[in-house]
Homo-oligomer: A and B are copies of this chain.
Amino acid sequence: MLVRLSGDSPLHLQIYQAFREAILEGRLAPGARLPSSRGEARSLGVSRNVVLQAYAQLVAEGYLTGSVGSGTYVATELPEVTLGGPAHRSRSDGQSSSKVRLSAYGARAANASTFSSRKRVRYDFAYGVSRPDDTTLRQWQRALRKAGERPSLDYGPPEGESSLREAIAAHLFKNRGVRCSASEVVVTSGSQQALSLISRMFFEPGDAVVVEEPSYQGARHLFESDGLRVLAHPVDQDGLDIGTSGPDARACYVTPSHQFPTGVTMPLARRLRILAWAEARDAVVIEDDYDSEYRYEGRPLEAIQRLDSHGRVIYVGTFSKVLFPAVRLGFVVLPPSLVATFIKTKWLADRHSPRLEQRALAELIASGTFEQHQRRARARNASRRAALMEALASELGGAVELSGANAGIHLLAWLTSVPLSGLDQIVEKALAEGVGLYPVSPYYTSTPPRAGLLFGYGNLEEGDIREGIRRFARVLRSLV
């Protein structure tokens, strides 16, 4: 007996499903004749209409052929294969799931160590979060509403909304001395996408790329997944030194304005050397200017992009640090000869970035609101930074050594009295005290020279910063 009635679903659906499964599993072979609707109804104890309804659906879907009167048959053109496991089972059950072959990229990506935001604790020194103040949030909501009132419904240009490209070009010139026309700016979905498209456009698996040691691991994981050989060059207090001959590589990925995560600034001589190296090696320079909006002392150094007269620098920027991470908007500034190809690469990847946010951001920048926000955020983060440095000095004194404190929204603290092996225990104990601490080790390709912690302060009030450091100091004293 093929059909067994049970469960709550309508009778005709139960009958339909039972026959469907029997056909898919081969228990009813192609060409087999079905019981008459009258006979089936009798043996199931249901009305004939119910069976007719089930048969009709199976005919409509191609499982059965024939019509009332002339008899009903399993469709003969169904392939003579058993399709494996019971067809009604959700694939989640997984028993019969084949092992599908991945590409080399897929296999590497499967093992990539991506990361996601950890659950927040009360005193969380997580890096990369800069919470905007209420004024900025309101202005952002207003800009979104305004952009949404007359929404752009059609596909947008792959290179980005022209209003946003104009706004970015003007913003960069004013704030970073980056000279570019709007036509050299391409909007991306965050700087992660910018790096991903650059990597595809320029590099082959096996190519070498120079990165800083330590460096932003989102970029490094990407390069590794793309099959590149990552050459990690150590940074000193002046950042990365490519040297006079320089390694044989296709690219150098650098954060010259504010090295991530050490926070040091690369002086002019080294910047020029990187440009000379790139020209000699036929390489590109990827300049990631992820947080140069936050600089508290002195004038920011000009971007490498501005020194480039050979069209070898690709400048990458993002709004996730100066606004907030969920704004998935970044951009690249490209040498003119590379713009068209980059735009095609972007189109192939996802056609274009979200228009609504693009237009809201363009409005925010063009109206001057964004600059006011920047100024406020800079002041706020400067106070946070002062509070953090003060707290570290007064609570921990000589037990920490700070690196790169005059810019950004984080600083790096080397723990002078803690061995590398002792860090995990500190992090764990601090977490129990409500303090989120983040070792610098994930940013290294090898073992870091000493125990270091990255303190992000863009998301904490000054009082919380002080209390967090107090608790951290207590943990440290209890263990060392």
Task: List chain A positions with a Cβ less than 8 A from chain B.
Answer: 24, 57, 60-63, 75, 77-79, 81, 83-87, 89-92, 94, 96-106, 109-110, 112, 114, 116-117, 128-129, 131-132, 137, 140-141, 144-145, 148-149, 151-158, 179-181, 183-184, 188-190, 192-193, 196, 200-204, 207, 218, 221-222, 225, 244, 250, 267-269, 272-273, 275-276, 279, 282, 284, 298-299, 301-302, 307-312, 320, 324-326, 328, 335-338, 340-341, 344-345, 347-357
Contact = CB atoms under 8 A, between A and B. Distances in A.
12 contacts: A79-B272, A79-B273, A83-B276, A87-B309, A92-B181, A92-B184, A97-B336, A98-B310, A190-B351, A193-B349, A356-B356, A356-B357
Given A97-B310, A348-B109, A153 B338 contact: no
B94 A202 contact: no
Contacts of A106: 200-202, 341, 345
Contacts of A347: 112, 114, 116, 192
A204 B101 CA distance: 11
Contact of A356 (B105, B282, B326): B326
Contact of A350 (B137, B145, B193, B302): B193
Contacts of A268: 61-63, 75, 78
A84 B188 CA distance: 30
8 closest A-B pairs by beta carbon, nearest first, are A62-B268, A97-B311, A106-B201, A193-B350, A153-B324, A114-B347, A110-B341, A77-B269
Contacts of A326: 151-156, 354-356
A336 B91 contact: yes
A103 B203 contact: yes
Contacts of A148: 141, 144-145
Given A336-B91, A336-B97, A192 B110 contact: no
Given A75-B269, A272-B78, A97 B356 contact: no
A86 B307 CA distance: 10
B269 A335 contact: no
Contact of A348 (B98, B112, B128, B276): B112
B129 A154 contact: yes
A143 to B, nearest CB: 10
B110 A340 contact: yes
Nearest to A200: B105
Given A100-B335, A204-B104, A94 B345 contact: no
Contacts of A117: 154-155
B62 A301 contact: yes
Nearest to A153: B324
Given A109-B345, A338-B100, A348-B192, A180 B144 contact: no
Contacts of A272: 24, 78-79, 81, 83
Nearest to A87: B309
A299 B60 contact: yes
Contacts of A355: 326, 328
Nearest to A203: B103
A337 B95 CA distance: 10
Contacts of A335: 91, 97, 100
B202 A102 contact: yes
A97 B299 CA distance: 29
Contacts of A90: 179-181
Contacts of A188: 350
Contacts of A202: 100-103, 106
Given A276-B79, A328-B351, A348-B221, A98 B189 contact: no
A345 B183 CA distance: 30
B96 A154 contact: no
A350 B352 CA distance: 12
A151 to B, nearest CB: 7
A196 B310 contact: no
A348 B192 CA distance: 7
Contacts of A103: 200-204, 207
Given A57-B299, A268-B75, A307 B24 contact: yes
